[in-house]
Amino acid sequence: MSGLRLINPEVEFLRYRRRLEIAGGVAALLFLILFSRFFWLQVLQYDHYHALAENNRISLVPAPPSRGVIYDRQGEVLAQNFSAYTLEITPSKTDDLETTLNLLSQVVTIDTGDRKRFKRLLAESKNFESIPIRNKLTEEEVARFTVNRYRFPGVEVKARLFRQYPFGEIFSHVVGYIGRIGQRDLDRLEESGQLANYRGSDHIGKLGIESTYESWLHGNTGIEKVETDSSGRAVRLLSRTAPVSGHNLYLHIDAKLQQVAEKVFGDYRGALVALDPRNGGVLAMVSKPGFDPNLFVDGIDSATWRELNDADERPLINRALRGVYPPGSTIKPFMALAGLESGVRKPGDSIADPGYFTLPGSSHRYRDWKKDGHGMVDLKRSIIVSCDTYYYGLAQQMGIERMAGFLGQFGFGKKSGVDLDGELSGLMPTPAWKKRRFKQPWWPGETVIAGIGQGYVLTTPMQLAVATMAIANNGMIYKPQLIRAWTDPVSGQMSQAAPRLVGHIAMKPQHLRLVREAMIEVMLPGGTASAAGANTPYLFAGKTGTAQVVGIRQGEKYDASRLASRHHDHALFIAFAPADDPKIVLAVMVENGGHGGSTAAPVARKVIDYWLLGKLPTAPVAPEAAARNLEEEDSAPLEEATPATTEGVSR
Amino acid sequence: MILRVLFSRLFAHLDGPLVGLLGLLLLLGSVVVFSASGENPAKVAAHFVNLSVALGAMLLVSHIPPQRLMQFALPAYILGVALLLGVALFGIVVNGSRRWLELGVTRIQPSELMRLAAPMMLAWYLHYKQETMRGRDFAIAGLLLALPVGFIAKQPDLGTSLLITASGFYVLFLGGLSWKVIAGAAALAGSAVPLAWNYLLHDYQRQRVLTLIDPASDPLGAGYHIIQSTIAVGSGGVAGKGWMAGTQTHLDFLPERSTDFIFAVYSEEFGLVGNLFLLLLYAAIIWRGLMLASGAPTLFGRLFSGAIVLTFATYAFVNMGMVSGILPVVGVPLPLISYGGTSMVTVLVGFGIVMSLVTHKKLVKT
């Protein structure tokens, strides 16, 4: 590169041509590389990229089914759907959530409750899910948002189905509620292989019928194949598999009867179970107090939830299935049958009741509720006047093992199997159980008090109703069922739920007749519930009971006026009517209601009056009735009995 | 009669085959812009305005005699460098780089001017020195090129600076730059890559290159363009999805689909067959352009027109390579297809210059 170059135009031009050719050759080579690349992408890798483009383009959008409607036996709606607009935000598609919320609140009303719920849902969900900020928009709000929509990327108005419970509190425990699907629900769905069917569903049954029959109520999710643009907006529908709605359910429950029962309870806490003895259908199931299930549907705010959960009244607990109480004297008809069937007692056997019972070789007195005793008491009278002494002796003679064996047939200590979750099994104690539970031997005195339904014996109102059904029904026990029928969503055909006979206790007809007659006389003058049984045009059979809340020491006397109302005894009552052709079986428990005859029995009377006579109650039972005429009532006796707990005896 | 004469005078400096091929390309481009804009008539109308202005400019430039063009070379270059200096001192920052100069009524991007001014300056310089061309002259020419390229790289606008370097290099290469120097420069450039990677490149520039190697590493950020355009190209298959039927295009998955990424639209809708046609059309234009360049009567004409055609080829290659995922994303439009006035005017003025340089043969004394 040194020195002056000789300029030869010819040579120069040839060199230029050569260089131009080289450059052109390089360009051709590069174009060939491009073509190879195109060939690679468009021919060899076509399937791959075609699939990716289709993936981009086509989304499978789940089409959630509409949930089945729940009706009572008369066709009254207990749970239904209604369509409303929600405003929803997809966090991943919004730039600044806080700013969006603030701007949004200028367009539609968003109160602090909405914000709180949104925050909570936000924490629970994934970023690309759309989360409701406002439910049930008015037409005007929808219109206002639509106009401003361009300002809010990632915010959409969606038409959604909402669940509504027209009866509110009254069916909180029976119908239950649905709530947003949580992690535990997801795990369960995954386990059962149902997860795919819940794509597009936000809610799942959490309690009651909504939970038990979740798989029937939910229905099958359909799939819409839609073409979407890059922002995920559906451009057109390509194909659609229609969703299949859930089954509509018809319950044995009678909403009117339930309302009547609710009403007669008044301000009392407690539970009531009404069964149809002919098929086990649950006609009413009350647990007071209840709560408004509608609160749970859109996600309850934590303050309200805490309030419900921490309340002394424990409204969230279904007392009919989860409240366990000593059955008290309501156990006596069953004990009587046990005595008769085992041959330990003959119908005519009488005892002289001095007002107490002592075990051989012991001076400890097991007192009768009536201080001076009932005098000569045979089996029938022992039920009518609820004589404790009679049953102390009977229990002692039978022994706890035989008692537990026989009473177990009535369902004591076992779950009834009703179609609701969370039922507790109560307790029918045996020495083996005590050894396991407390590592202690069984004492004879524990058998004695078990004879009058105290001590370790615990039952739920449902168990008492089922056991009473066996007496009303000549020993036949049907599984209690809420479900009466359902309609197939496709054919519209209705299917009936068959009664499920779960037990037939072999008992002599004359024994059953005797006990039934005794229970009828309980309601007549001289019986413990004569006031509640006055002037019925039907044959009314019942048995009162009282479950002690606070132990009363030997020699002390129960004095209602001295005890705070929370320590008043629980009033119990079991009944069926008409006794000659039972159409309804009842178990009533009034917490701190005092005595069975004075509070629980009137509740039962009003409920049965409505069911058999169509008579609507005018007023709830009067609380003042509780503490009157102590001596004439069938009260709980003696001894430090296990305080009744509302929840959970662990086994 | 007079009209015919007027017409032949008007088009006297156009090359029939080249104009025909360019027209075909512009027609194809309009068809693609129509689809890419989502049948937006306003955008198509604007495209036709750009096109008319650019064709008018080409026609106008084709009438400028080469001597006059040569006179422009030095002033245009000096003006360009002055403006670049102005940008460096007073330029306004858009999207993180200082490329624009605010002139009160309008703002200009001086680097656009340099796309033609730099190779013109180099061609002029080599032409001026042709009688006594030494190695030193190439070195000076190299410095003349490095000055504006340095300014532009500093803005930073790596894509434009590389493309101007390329067009300047074409002038030197066609002007007879020694193979030893070329090999030495290539070796030097190769060894400088790691240094440049570490010290010269900005983070986003490094990211672009890394993204090219593994687009999936950042599918929603920098990789998104490449992923979606590659999907568009690949899913076009052999025959394409049909005009106006590209799903990537019409469902909004392709970014910048009427400008830098318009090739993805074309490729998706017309497939491998369409791509082959486009490649052949570009090749024909380049071939015709190089043919014309070799017929230019002066060294200035040969060097400048050769560089213009090779630069055109480079733009086409870089754009298609970027869209199909073999080159990093640099802001280069697909010449004469992409929507956008500036690029269209620059390219067609370039071809106007080529035609001017080669058709004024008879009027020029050699």
Q: Pick the catalytic residue from A130, A172, A245, A329.
A: A329
- Do B293 and A20 count as a contact with CB atoms less than 8 A apart? yes
Here the CATH number for the domain that contains residue A106 is 3.90.1310.10
Alpha-carbon distance of A456 to A442, in angstroms, equals: 11
* Strand pairing report for B97-102 and A248-251: unpaired
CATH number for the domain spanning A558: value is: 3.40.710.10
User: Mean pLDDT throughout A124-132?
Assistant: 72
What is the rounded distance in angstroms from the CA atom of residue A456 to the CA atom of residue A431? 11
Q: Quick one: A569 and A477 in the same domain?
A: yes
Do A210 and A345 share a domain, yes or no? no
CB B211 within 8 A of CB B243: no
pLDDT reported for residue A208: 93
Instruction: Kindly report, residue by residue over B229-285, the tens digit of the pLDDT.
Output: 999 999 999 999 999 889 888 888 888 888 899 999 999 999 999 999 999 999 999
A23 pLDDT band (50/70/90 cuts)? very high
Q: Rounded to 5 degrees, what angle do the CA atoms B226, B227, B229 make?
A: 65
Q: How much is the mean pLDDT over chain B?
A: 88
pLDDT at A465: 96
Residues A143 and A194 in one domain: yes
Backbone angles phi and psi of A611, in degrees to 5: -65, -40
pLDDT at A580 over 60: yes
Out of B247, B253, B294, closest to residue A16 by CB: B294
Q: What is the ipTM of this complex?
A: 0.94
In a domain, A502, yes or no: no
pLDDT at B221: 63
The verdict on A245 and A275 lying in the same domain is no
- B237 in A contact zone (CB under 8 Å): yes
A161 lies in the same domain as A283:
no
Whole-number pLDDT of residue A44: 95
The average pLDDT across A420-445 equals 92
Do A522 and A592 sit in the same domain of this protein?
yes
Check residue A77 and give its pLDDT.
95
What are B337-357's pLDDT values in tens digits? Answer: 999 888 899 999 999 999 999
Per-residue pLDDT at A620:
79
SS3 A402: helix
Amino acid at A581: D
- Structure confidence at residue B136 as a pLDDT band (50, 70, 90): confident
A363 is catalytic: no
Interface of B with A in 248-277 (CB under 8 A): 248, 251-253, 267, 271-272, 275-276
Same domain, A209 and A268: no
In the predicted structure, residue B125 carries a pLDDT above the cut 80: yes
pLDDT computed for residue A627 by the predictor: 42
Q: Work out how many domains chain A is built from and give that number.
A: 2
The pLDDT score that the predictor gives to residue B4 is 87
Q: Residue B272: its chain A contacts at CB < 8 A?
A: 38-39, 42-43
Q: For B93-109, b where at least 16 C-beta lie within 10 A, e where not — what string?
A: eeeebbbbbeeeeeeeb
Query: Do the chains contact at A27 and B317, CB–CB below 8 Å?
Result: yes
Cβ contact (<8 Å) for B317 and A48? no
Q: In the prediction, which pLDDT does B268 show?
A: 95
* A509-524 residue pLDDT tens: 999 999 999 999 999 9
- What's the pLDDT at B216? 67
Residue B185 at interface with chain A, using a CB cutoff of 8 Å? no
> Mean pLDDT over residues A86-115, rounded?
84
Are B290 and A19 within 8 A, CB to CB? no
Q: What is the mean pLDDT of residues A537-558?
A: 72
Instruction: Give pLDDT, residue A343.
Output: 92
- Asked whether the beta carbons of B248 and B268 are under 8 A apart, the reply is yes
Q: How confident is the model at residue B95 (pLDDT cuts 50, 70, 90)?
A: confident
In a domain, A491, yes or no: no
The pLDDT of residue A499 is above 80: yes
Pair of tokens at residue A239: 């194909």
Output the six-digit token pair for B222.
């920098």
* Residue B279 near chain A (CB below 8 Å): yes
Across A612-641, average pLDDT = 58
Token pair recorded at residue A24? 């052109």
How confident is the model over A204-222, as a mean pLDDT?
Answer: 92
Average per-residue pLDDT for chain A:
86
Distance from C-alpha of A132 to C-alpha of A120, rounded to nearest angstrom = 11
What is the tens place of the pLDDT at every residue in B139-188? 999 999 999 999 998 888 888 899 999 999 999 999 988 899 899 988 98
Phi, psi for residue A197 in degrees, rounded to 5? -70, -15
Structural tokens at position A644: 């009744």
**Same domain? A423 vs A572:** yes
* Shared domain check, A454 and A324: yes
Respond yes or no on whether the N-terminal peptide bond of residue A429 is cis (omega within 30° of 0): no
- A137 and A156 assigned to the same domain: yes
Q: What is the mean pLDDT of residues A452-459?
A: 92
Note down the domain range covering A378.
257-292+316-484+509-632
pLDDT score recorded for residue B328: 84
Sign, Cα dihedral of B251, B253, B255, B259: negative
Give me the DSSP letters along A362-380.
---EEE-SSTT--EEEEHH
3-state secondary structure A298-314: CCCCHHHHHHHHHCCCC
Residue A332 structure tokens? 């006596």
Are A174 and A285 in the same domain?
A: no
For chain A, what percent of residues have pLDDT higher than 70?
90
Amino acid at residue number B319: N
pLDDT at A449 over 80: yes
The pair of structure tokens assigned to B353 is 């210059």
Q: Are A606 and A421 in contact (CB under 8 A)?
A: no
- Of A61-65, A296-300, A410-414, which gets the smallest average pLDDT? A296-300
| Orientation of helix B110-128 relative to helix B66-90, angle to 10° | 130
Residues A411 and A458 sit within 8 Å (Cβ to Cβ): no
